[in-house]
Amino acid sequence: MKKLLQCLAISFALFGLSAYAAGPTEVVYHIDDAESQGIKGLRNIRNHLDVSPQTKIIVVTHANGVDIMMEGAKDKKNGIEYAPLVGALKSRGVRFEVCEITLKNRNLKKDQFILDTDFTPSGVVRVADLQYQNHFAYIKP
């Protein structure tokens, strides 16, 4: 019994070290509706980085969520422009991706988006791949 407890203690210690050695937390924020998630999501990300600045964050947008990345877009409730908030987060290492299927479905062009925008073929596939293949934590504000 004593040997078993020692083995378990060593296993837990090694697991803790391997988790620590794995690097910073990686998180995907999923935004599919700018009106309900835009400002809240951007503030959540800012707060996340304020507490844990080493976190790697990728924001994936699709459907109406891509609106936070459009040139001149503002929050409808309070008129806050998204671009400065996105730019501040981008300067802290956050990556912002827009779904190209949404562009096609909504007849949008890449030049309608702010310069801080990256594009992904499918927002839904990107979220799934980040979670499953890359083990990103998932947050939907």
Cα 43 to Cα 8, 85, 136, distances in angstroms:
41, 8, 20
Task: Note the pLDDT of residue 23.
Answer: 84
Burial of 3 (0-12, 13-18, 19+ CB in 10 A): exposed
Beta bridge partners of 138: 28
Give yes or no for a contact between 65 and 40, defined as CB atoms under 8 angstroms apart: no
Q: What is the pLDDT of residues 102-128, one digit of tens each?
A: 999 999 999 999 998 999 999 999 999
The fraction of the chain above a pLDDT of 70, given in percent, is 84
Assess whether pLDDT exceeds 90 at residue 92. yes
Q: What's the pLDDT score for residue 127?
A: 98
- Amino acid symbol at 60: V
Find the DSSP H helices in 52-122. Answer: 82-90, 100-106
pTM for the full model? 0.84
In the chain, which residue ranges form alpha helices assigned H by DSSP?
A: 2-21, 34-51, 82-90, 100-106, 123-132
Q: What is the pLDDT of residues 2-19, one digit of tens each?
A: 554 455 445 545 555 444
pLDDT in tens, 26-56: 999 999 999 999 999 999 999 999 999 999 9
Torsion over CA: 22, 93, 59, 47 (sign): positive
Q: Which of 54, 56, 38, 2 is nearest to 140 (CA)?
A: 38
Residue from 100, 140, 94, 93 nearest 122 by CA: 100
Please tell me the distance from the alpha carbon of residue 4 to that of residue 50, in angstroms, as a whole number.
Answer: 42
